Amino acid sequence: MYYYLYDSKLNDKKYTNIIARIETRLTDLGINGKINRLSFLKNINQVLAEEIKRGVKTIIIVGDDKTIGQVINLIADFNITIGIIPIGPNNNIARLLGLPSEESACDIISSRIIKKMDLGKINNYYFLTSLEIGGKNITLECDKNYIINLQENNNIINISNLNSCYDTISDPTDGKLDIFIENVQNRLFRKNRSTLSHLKNKTIRVTSDKTIPIFLSDERKIIKTPADVDIIPKKIKMIVGKRRYF
Amino acid sequence: MFKETPTTNETETVIGPSVKVEGDFVTEGNVIVEGIICGTIKTSRNLKVGPKSRIFANVAAENALVSGEIQGNLKINDRLELTSTGKIFGDIKVGTLIVAAGSVLNGKCQMGTPKEKSIKPDFSKQEKIDLKTQVNSEAEKIENKQSKKK
């Protein structure tokens, strides 16, 4: 049985037509189900907890990356399949999974290609896409084997599970996290020079001499150092399209 | 018709110039080093050491192209290429070695596969020649000939 979770921003009038088209397409394909519209008054945790108790097996998120990030954290420990119908501009996850936007995504949901994907975990908090860290004197302890010291100030660290940055696609099925370290050197009267490092690891411990915020791109949430980042292989089942990037 | 995905490179680990790695660095893919590494490096594939990089570590790889400085022992299964800016201070064990003019190599060097040993002649199966007895017998023969002539 399908359970549809609508993002709170879809209550806006400008989305009425799009939602009507999606619902018609879902009915045509015979995959319509219970719909729950989120709002500022509804707590997503409570709504999902109730549905999981009732035994829902497939949750279709109608919204953007932020909604997906919230849902993933709540259902990661249950055997539930997630589908996405992307609406709005901020839909990087759907693009990487090969899902077209709006009603075209309904056909992909109907064809139901399911992939088991890895989930990143930072201090008991799950993430699907990536983390971003910026600051000085950061130390990364990788796989408990070696330490990476970053003493310069202009480093941007990106830890990705599913992402496409720096012309590289992070595969969410390889059981490893991609670490990208970009160092930008500001030069007077000349173009800034940037260098890139790329490593693959399973566990990373992020420490620094001062507390540094870690930006979670799924949910736009901030977590502070020290932090332990792990990968949980094949933790989540997702409906993907044929045009996926991995 | 075709998958519209961005071009992806072969899995590679890149250690940039701003990065300093300390410890045992073990990977299964190609490695490009432009920064500093202290400890050990092991890869089952290729290693490229950039001109400004410095490695204070024992290195094991399938193939290696060295343009920077390595202080430590190297074990390269197949091919090691040392460019004009490359410096190695340590012993090397390698299948094939290519050294460019201007490079520095200080240490013991062992080349070729372990099977390729110098072929020594085997004298153990040959019968020993007793020179003393041979000389005496020849002298006796000459004496006999001379006595017959007389």
For B6, name the nearest residue in chain A, comparing CA atoms only.
A167
Query: Which of A172, A204, A23 has its CA nearest to residue A105?
Result: A23
CA distances A207 to A154, A161, A230, B34, Å, are: 17, 20, 14, 24
For A243, name the nearest residue in chain B, comparing CA atoms only.
B3
Average pLDDT, chain A: 87
**Which residue of B3, B12, B14, B34 is the best one to mutate when testing the A interface, meaning the one whose CB has the most A CBs within 10 A?**
B14
Q: pLDDT for B45-88, tens place per residue?
A: 999 999 999 999 999 999 999 999 999 999 999 999 999 999 99
Residue B45 lies in a domain: yes
Range A61-89 average pLDDT: 89
Q: pLDDT for B115-148, tens place per residue?
A: 666 666 676 666 666 767 777 778 788 888 888 7
Residue B97 lies in a domain: yes
**Could you tell me the two tokens for A41?**
């008054």
Q: What percent of chain A has pLDDT over 70?
A: 100
CB-nearest to B19 from A145, A148, A164 is A148
Mind telling me how many Å the CA of B26 is from chain A's nearest CA? 8
Check pLDDT > 80 for residue A84: yes
What per-residue confidence (pLDDT) applies to A116? 93
Boundaries of every domain in chain A? 2-111, 125-234
Q: How far apart are the first and last CA of chain A?
A: 28
Query: Which of A2, A9, A119, A134 has its CA nearest to residue A69?
Result: A119
Contacts of B9 in chain A (CB under 8 A): 167-168
Assign domain A125-234 one CATH number from 2.60.200.40, 3.40.50.1000, 3.40.640.10, 3.40.190.10: 2.60.200.40
What angle is formed at CA A59 by the lines to CA A53 and CA A62, rounded to 5 degrees?
135
Range B97-126 average pLDDT: 80
Contact B19 A197 (CB under 8 A): yes
Range B4-11 average pLDDT: 46
Which residue type occupies A165? C
Contact A183 B17 (CB under 8 A): yes
What per-residue confidence (pLDDT) applies to A205? 93
Q: What is the DSSP string of B12-55?
A: EEEE-TT-EEEEEEEESSEEEE-SEEEEEEEESSEEEE-TT-EE
Residue B23 lies in a domain: yes
Q: Is 0.85 exceeded by the ipTM? A: no
Largest separation between any pair of C-alpha atoms in chain A: 64
Check pLDDT > 90 for residue B98: yes
Range of the domain at B61: 12-111
Q: Does the pTM of the predicted model rise above 0.80? A: yes
Q: Beta strand A203-208 with A138-142: parallel, antiparallel or unpaired?
A: antiparallel
- Residues 6 or more apart from A208 whose CB is under 8 A from it? A135, A136, A137, A138, A139, A225, A226
Q: pLDDT for A143-172, tens place per residue?
A: 989 999 887 778 889 999 988 888 888 888
What per-residue confidence (pLDDT) applies to B8? 41
CA dihedral A231, B49, B36, A211 (to 10 degrees): -30
CATH code of the region A2-111: 3.40.50.10330
Residue B41 lies in a domain: yes
> Cα separation of B104 and B83, whole Å?
9
At A224 the three-state DSSP class reads strand
Fold: same for A2-111 and A125-234: no
Q: pLDDT for A185-235, tens place per residue?
A: 777 777 777 888 999 999 999 998 888 888 887 777 788 888 899 999 999
Check pLDDT > 50 for residue B5: no
Residue B144: DSSP 8-state: H
What per-residue confidence (pLDDT) applies to B7? 39
CA distances A218 to A7, A223, B28, Å, are: 15, 12, 30
Q: What's the structural domain count of chain B?
A: 1
